Amino acid sequence: MARELLSSNAAKSVYRDGDLAIKVFCKGFPKSEVLNEALISARIEEIGGINIPATLAVAVEEDGCWSITKDFIEGKTLKQLIAEHPENLDDYLDKMVDLQLLIHSKSCPLLTRLKDKMARQISEISQLNPVSRYDLLTRLDCTPKHTKLCHGDFQPDNIIVKPDGTLYVLDWVHATQGNASADVARTYLLFCLENQETADRYMKLFCQKTGTDIRYVQQWLPLVAAAQLTKKRPEEADLLHKWLNVCEY
């Protein structure tokens, strides 16, 4: 059976080949990053209790490109479902928050610590002056030390809903251990980049379900905005700088 293209960007393409999903990285993509993605996915698989596609192989294709092969999960992404049935948005967000809480209930001690990763990212941002960088790093240092499993890129595009309603979580390359509110702030940011109203509904639901004071999540917003600046996406710059300016120095 021929491979069917499921998704692609400049760095990688995901194909379906029968029961398999094969992510093929572009020429020159760092080998360490491919192996790291496979390693993190394998660690999450081994924790158990979260539905994720099993990693089956890491290989080099005939053209020299690296690839990771996983089980293909039949279904639609939550992003597709929200677009097709906007009237069910609240129900989808409810399921999404429950799934994120399940993830936060796990621990994975061998993963990178979220605070270490964010500190590295903030130190690298050339768009900020050294004083702002220092202030952000000081703020980060003052946040509590938590070790909850954080997906790091938890958004509707990375969730597949099977026809029987079971949810599967993809794309664990950004997973770390840290503060759940930081992970929620990151999801909120990803929603804001698409749709502010959906973002606010998501945040409200998370806070209601967990009894979290919204300010506890909001304290992470300048930090997650700073970390996102490292992606250097011009279309995101306005929103990210706005969030950084909200930060009281």
Ligand X SMILES: Nc1ncnc2c1ncn2[C@@H]1O[C@H](COP(=O)(O)OP(=O)(O)OP(=O)(O)O)[C@@H](O)[C@H]1O
State in angstroms the smallest separation of the CB of 201 from Mg ion. 22
Residue 73 binds ligand X, judged by CB under 6 A: yes
Quickly count: other Cβ atoms within 10 Å of residue 12's Cβ.
Answer: 18
State in angstroms the smallest separation of the CB of 216 from ligand X. 28
Residue 45 binds ligand X, judged by CB under 6 A: no
Q: How far apart are the first and last CA of the chain?
A: 59
Place of tokens 């919204």: 214
Out of Mg ion, ligand X, none, what residue 55 binds, judged by CB under 5 to 8 A for its kind, is none
Instruction: Please identify which residue in 96, 171, 174, 225 interacts with Mg ion, judged by CB under 5 A.
Output: 171
Task: Tell me whether residue 45 is exposed, middle or buried, using C-beta atoms within 10 angstroms of its C-beta: 0 to 12, 13 to 18, 19 or more.
Answer: middle
The count of residues interacting with ligand X (CB under 6 A) is 17
Q: Is 107 helix (H, G, I), strand (E, B) or coil?
A: coil
Quickly count: other Cβ atoms within 10 Å of residue 106's Cβ.
Answer: 15
Alpha-helical runs (H) found in the chain? 31-47, 78-84, 89-104, 114-124, 130-141, 180-192, 196-210, 214-218, 221-229, 237-246
Residue 53 binds ligand X, judged by CB under 6 A: yes
Stretch that binds ligand X, among 71-79, 92-100, 207-215, 221-229 (CB under 6 A): 71-79
Stretch that binds ligand X, among 85-93, 110-118, 153-161, 216-224 (CB under 6 A): 153-161
Stretch that binds ligand X, among 143-151, 152-160, 221-229, 230-238 (CB under 6 A): 152-160
Q: Which residues bind ligand X (CB under 6 A)?
A: 6-7, 9, 12, 14, 21, 53, 70-73, 77, 157-158, 160, 170-171
